[in-house]
Amino acid sequence: MKNIFIGCSALLATMAGFAQNPVIRDQFTADPTARVFDGKIYLYPSHDIPSPVDNLKEWFCMEDYHVFSSENLTDWIDHGVIVSQTSVPWVDSQSYSMWAPDCVKKGDNYYFYFPAAPKGERGFRVGVAVSENPSGPFWPMPRFIEGISGIDPCVLVDDDGSSYIYWSGMGLKGAKLKDNMMELDGEPVAIDNLPDGFKEGPFAFKRNGKYYFTFPWVKDKTETLAYAMSDAPLGPYEFKGLIMDESPTGCWTNHHSIVEYNNQWYLFYHHNDYSPSFDKNRSVRIDSLSFNPDGTIRKVTPTLRGVGVTDARSRIQIDRYSDISSKNAAIGYIDSNNYFAGWKTIMKRQGAWVKYNNVDFGTSPVASVTARVCAPSGGRLCVGIYNQRNKAVLAEINIPASTSWQNVTVPVTGNSVEGVHDLWVELKSGRNVEIDWAGFDALPWLEGAMKTGKYRNLFVEMGYRPDMVSAKLDSMYNALFHGPDRVYFEVGDSMAYISDLKNNDVRTEGMSYGMMIAAQLDKKDVFDRLWRWAKMYMQHNDGSDRDGYFAWSCKTDGTPNAHGSASDGELYFVTSLIFASNRWGNASGIDYLAEARNIIDASMLKTGKRHASPFINIETRLITFTPDKWGSRFTDPSYHIPVFYEIWAKWLNDGRSEFWQECADRSRAYLHSCVHPETGLTPDYSNYDGSLLNRGHIIGDAFRFDSWRVPLNIAIDYAWSCSDGKWQRDYADRVQKFFYEKGIDDYVDQYNVDGSDVEQILGAGGYTGLRHSTGLVATMAAVSIAANDGKSKEFVKRLWHSRHEPYEDGYFDAYYDGLLRLFSFMLLSGNYQIIE
């Protein structure tokens, strides 16, 4: 049998934190089947697309399936395509008929059921793809299930392990499945005793010993959702009534699933929210569902608000309201040419209001509120909370007259508020005021600088003057590169090195860091000097296995201390060379891009070499600790900056763009696995699955010097890419909470990853002791760019007041502390950027 592999080649893209309907906001999704696996909810919808073929221009057109997952029904991760019409052997690859699917778990495998048009036949068949994980990869079986002609498969796995499949085709039908989940175990039976009229899309589930058979039913003009109940999986069923009425806007289809998650039942269904004039492009919605004491289902009224709790420190889409004034308020599309841009609330006259329920203000008081508004004649909004019929004003927003959208931020002047409350926004004066969203405090990125070209300056946001910030940056740079405690030393007319003074050597880490700083701050002479020194003294060019790599440590006269390489040096060399190429071009004496490609090409040719290997592990797509037989067996969390690979994919032009994008995705997933779930700490080294090495060495399993860089690196990835924004914001809050509780001015620089004290202290530069190290102070400030908690500003203040000077015990690491301090300040001031 030929195995056909469908992987998650798309990004692990996180949908921004919206709890409103529709829940997937960057593509059409329909026919949603929701399932709970391993504590997460997985969504398996069909995927409407604009038809590329003429015969489907006015009909349903679907070529593949994505799977999404969530832990809170608010933030959804798109795991990419899991099955497509071109990957299934029996499917007509030009049929565009991948209609409503389902997925269930039995034993250790996940079975994905889908209908499609077969080659050489009319109508539909149902196929199966199998995976060991709910998000894939899935392997489609070479043949469809014999005995099923129809669409909309649904599978119920009963308490005793027996399984039943249901579908629609010349009526609604069901049959028992064999244990292999791919063959019928008996003849199909019709599901009878249902009302007349068109029916499709069955979804069956079991609750309290009763079987529920639910289905779309055209009672009048468009589809309702209806249901029947039975004491047996294949009936006989007794019709009970409606779950949801017809669409008030005339969307002809509705297709659904019903699932219990965290002790609450939910109805997943679809509507044509993003395609108001063409109801063949649908979007998934969620609303709560409940039961009467006798087990019958209470009718669900569709809402815009949907489900879940919304973070106050997010862009709250108040157009997805829970209540709205009956007069002078309306909802419209922001852009009639791009419905995916979303909606706006239009307040026509004074007194118009909206209410948005379940907003979580957390445990720290909010300081400011921002609204994105457009008011040609100006106006004034009142923002408050609404609880038990009592309103409490938090702020009033005076909106300058403008025909353009603008973000208006004002302080919160009302009483401090914590916990979950309903948000209330009312127009106090003005006419035709349009509101896109409102949110509190510094709002998180929804898109990174790769898309927006924008960079935050947290210092300015906190009230520091721009000229003060610029002066502080210049002072930090000059202290590190030109002051009495500098680490940068020029050699002759054309070269320079950066020295780790406490170890009296030159390292690829410092050289590549220096090049990155020079590229960022537009200091070409400094960049070129460092590169020439690195190329002359550190880069191997002797025909050995290590050709193209760099000796990770040299004496200051260029004599190698070690011939092996450290992979983070190569990582930074390549990225800084790309930025140099983008900034200065390649015709001024150094072909920066060619040098970057040379490092990469040399690395990719080292598979199977005796003394060297690719510095990106080809199997795992993760960066190695060192590119050799020993160091390629594990990784270093502080080497992971996923967005660097996206830089390579965009500008390296080496024909490996898909490979580099996969490296970025794998790197982000790896960080999830190696970060401690409570403390946010990481070990200095780990296995590729994120687990500790457990080798009994002092270096490796604890949070020590290398690990200080992880908060900074995650902050860079957040600011530039934001592809994993929700997790990164949670990480930032988690790790800052740990250090804040240790004492923001007292925490030390070495811990076990569970937060306990280390038994052995790792020394550096002849000193052994625990310190409140400047390098860690800096990176803990850097991660504030992703943090939601108000305490993050306290970390930023500590960086602002940090100094480039010895500690009380005489220890002074001008090199490592100094570089991390400068990098972190650059990031927080908006001066660490993607150079295009």
Copy the structure tokens of residue 625: 């600790």
Q: Is residue 720 part of a domain?
A: no
* pLDDT given for residue 414 in this prediction: 76
Res. 388: pLDDT tops 90: no
Q: Which of the residue ranges 190-199, 412-421, 439-448 would you say has the lowest mean pLDDT? A: 439-448
| Mean per-residue pLDDT, 724-740 | 94
Q: How many CA within 13 A on the CB side of residue 53?
A: 12
- Residue 450: band (very low, low, confident or very high) from pLDDT cuts 50, 70, 90: very high
* pLDDT given for residue 443 in this prediction: 74
**Cα–Cα distance between 310 and 321 in angstroms, integer?**
12
Q: Is residue 726 part of a domain?
A: no
List all residues 6 or more positions away from 574 whose beta carbon is below 8 Å from its beta carbon: 596, 599, 600, 644, 648, 652
Identify the CATH number of the domain in which residue 601 sits. Answer: 1.50.10.10
Q: Give which of 822, 594, 579, 617 is closest to 712, Cα–Cα.
A: 822
**DSSP H helical ranges for 521-633:** 524-533, 567-584, 592-604
Q: Which residues of 736-755 are buried (b: 16+ CB within 10 A; e: fewer)?
A: bbbbbeeebeebbbbbbbeb
Q: Is residue 814 part of a domain?
A: no
Q: Partners of 437 in the beta sheet?
A: 372
**Cα–Cα distance between 421 and 313 in angstroms, integer?**
13
Q: In Å, how far are 43, 102, 128, 287, 295 from 258, measured between CA atoms?
A: 11, 12, 22, 10, 14
CA dihedral in degrees (521, 522, 524, 526; nearest 10)? -20
* pLDDT given for residue 767 in this prediction: 84
* pLDDT given for residue 1 in this prediction: 29
Q: Is residue 653 part of a domain?
A: no
**Cα–Cα distance between 812 and 821 in angstroms, integer?**
13
Res. 816: pLDDT tops 50: yes
**DSSP line for 760-796:** SPPPBTTB------HHHHHHHHHGGGT--STTHHHHH
**DSSP line for 134-191:** TT--BEE-SSPPTT-BSEEEEEEE-TTS-EEEEEESSSEEEEEEPTTSSSBSS--EE-
pLDDT in tens, 102-141: 999 999 999 999 999 999 999 999 999 999 999 998 999 9
Say whether pTM exceeds 0.85: no
| Mean per-residue pLDDT, 174-179 | 98
Q: Give which of 796, 652, 657, 666 is closest to 736, Cα–Cα.
A: 796
Q: Partners of 224 in the beta sheet?
A: 217
* pLDDT given for residue 673 in this prediction: 95
Q: Which residue has the tokens 């057109």?
A: 61
pLDDT in tens, 736-774: 999 999 999 999 999 999 999 999 999 887 788 999 999
Same domain, 269 and 328: no
Q: In Å, how far are 108, 221, 290 from 133, measured between CA atoms?
A: 9, 40, 30
Query: What three-state secondary structure class fits 718?
Result: helix
- Residue 808: band (very low, low, confident or very high) from pLDDT cuts 50, 70, 90: confident
**DSSP line for 400-428:** PPEEEEEEEEEE--S----SEEEEEEEEE
Single-letter amino acid code for the residue at 752? N
Q: How far is CA 629 from the centre of its chain?
A: 33
Q: For the purposes of burial, counting CB atoms within 10 Å of the CB of 449, is it exposed (0-12), middle (13-18) or buried (19 or more)?
A: buried
Identify the CATH number of the domain in which residue 437 sits. Answer: 2.60.120.260
The number of distinct structural domains making up the chain is 3
Same domain, 624 and 508: yes
Copy the structure tokens of residue 534: 């690195």
Same domain, 566 and 499: yes
Query: What three-state secondary structure class fits 615?
Result: coil
Of 610, 632, 654, the domain-final residue: 632
- Residue 4: band (very low, low, confident or very high) from pLDDT cuts 50, 70, 90: very low
Same domain, 505 and 418: no
Answer positive or negative: Cα dihedral of 499, 505, 509, 512. Answer: positive
User: For this structure, is 509 an active site residue?
Assistant: yes
Same domain, 230 and 320: no
Q: Which of the residue ranges 21-25, 191-195, 791-795 would you say has the lowest mean pLDDT? A: 791-795
**Cα–Cα distance between 836 and 833 in angstroms, integer?**
9
Q: Is residue 771 part of a domain?
A: no
- pLDDT greater at residue 116 or residue 466: 116
Same domain, 93 and 218: yes
Same domain, 207 and 101: yes
Answer positive or negative: Cα dihedral of 319, 322, 324, 330. Answer: positive
Q: Is residue 8 part of a domain?
A: no
| Mean per-residue pLDDT, 799-815 | 89
Of 255, 289, 323, the domain-final residue: 289
**Cα–Cα distance between 22 and 28 in angstroms, integer?**
10
| Mean per-residue pLDDT, 560-579 | 97
Of 256, 289, 322, the domain-final residue: 289
**Cα–Cα distance between 196 and 406 in angstroms, integer?**
54
Same domain, 110 and 201: yes
* pLDDT given for residue 12 in this prediction: 43
Q: Give which of 523, 619, 530, 606 is closest to 573, Cα–Cα.
A: 530
**Cα–Cα distance between 509 and 525 in angstroms, integer?**
19
* pLDDT given for residue 765 in this prediction: 77
Res. 5: pLDDT tops 60: no
* pLDDT given for residue 726 in this prediction: 86
**Cα–Cα distance between 561 and 557 in angstroms, integer?**
11
Task: Kindly report the average pLDDT of the chain as a whole number.
Answer: 93
Same domain, 180 and 59: yes
Q: In Å, how far are 150, 426, 453, 653 from 306, measured between CA atoms?
A: 32, 21, 32, 44
Res. 720: pLDDT tops 50: yes
* pLDDT given for residue 416 in this prediction: 77
* ∠ Cα 693 697 702 (to 5°): 65
**Cα–Cα distance between 23 and 68 in angstroms, integer?**
11
Contact of 318 with 347, CB cutoff 8 Å: no
Res. 695: pLDDT tops 90: no
* pLDDT given for residue 19 in this prediction: 57
User: For this structure, is 706 an active site residue?
Assistant: yes
pLDDT in tens, 610-639: 889 999 999 999 999 999 989 999 999 999
The bridge status of strand 402-411 relative to strand 488-491 is: unpaired
Res. 11: pLDDT tops 60: no
| Mean per-residue pLDDT, 786-802 | 89
- Backbone φ, ψ for residue 632 (5° rounding): -80, 0
Establish whether the linkage from the previous residue to 236 is cis, with ω within 30° of 0: yes
Catalytic residue among 152, 646, 706, 789: 706
| Mean per-residue pLDDT, 380-391 | 86
**Cα–Cα distance between 8 and 797 in angstroms, integer?**
42
Catalytic residue among 48, 64, 102, 509: 509
Same domain, 55 and 96: yes
Single-letter amino acid code for the residue at 825? F
Q: Partners of 802 in the beta sheet?
A: none
| Mean per-residue pLDDT, 453-466 | 87
Three-state SS string across 313-328, please?
A: CCCECCCCCCEECCCC
Q: Which long-range contacts (CB under 8 A, 24 or more apart) does 142-147 make?
A: 142/1, 142/2, 142/89, 142/90, 143/89, 143/90, 144/90, 144/118, 145/182, 145/183, 145/184, 146/183, 146/184, 147/175, 147/184, 147/187, 147/188
Same domain, 219 and 285: yes
Structural domain boundaries, residue 521: 491-632
**DSSP line for 67-111:** EEEESSSSS-EEEEEEEETTT-TTB-TT--B----EEEEETTEEE
**Cα–Cα distance between 479 and 138 in angstroms, integer?**
55
Q: Is residue 474 part of a domain?
A: no
- Residue 14: band (very low, low, confident or very high) from pLDDT cuts 50, 70, 90: very low
Res. 556: pLDDT tops 90: yes
pLDDT in tens, 137-153: 899 999 999 999 999 99
Contact of 191 with 226, CB cutoff 8 Å: no
Same domain, 437 and 496: no
Q: Is residue 462 part of a domain?
A: no
pLDDT in tens, 395-433: 999 999 999 999 999 999 877 788 999 999 999 999 999
* pLDDT given for residue 637 in this prediction: 97
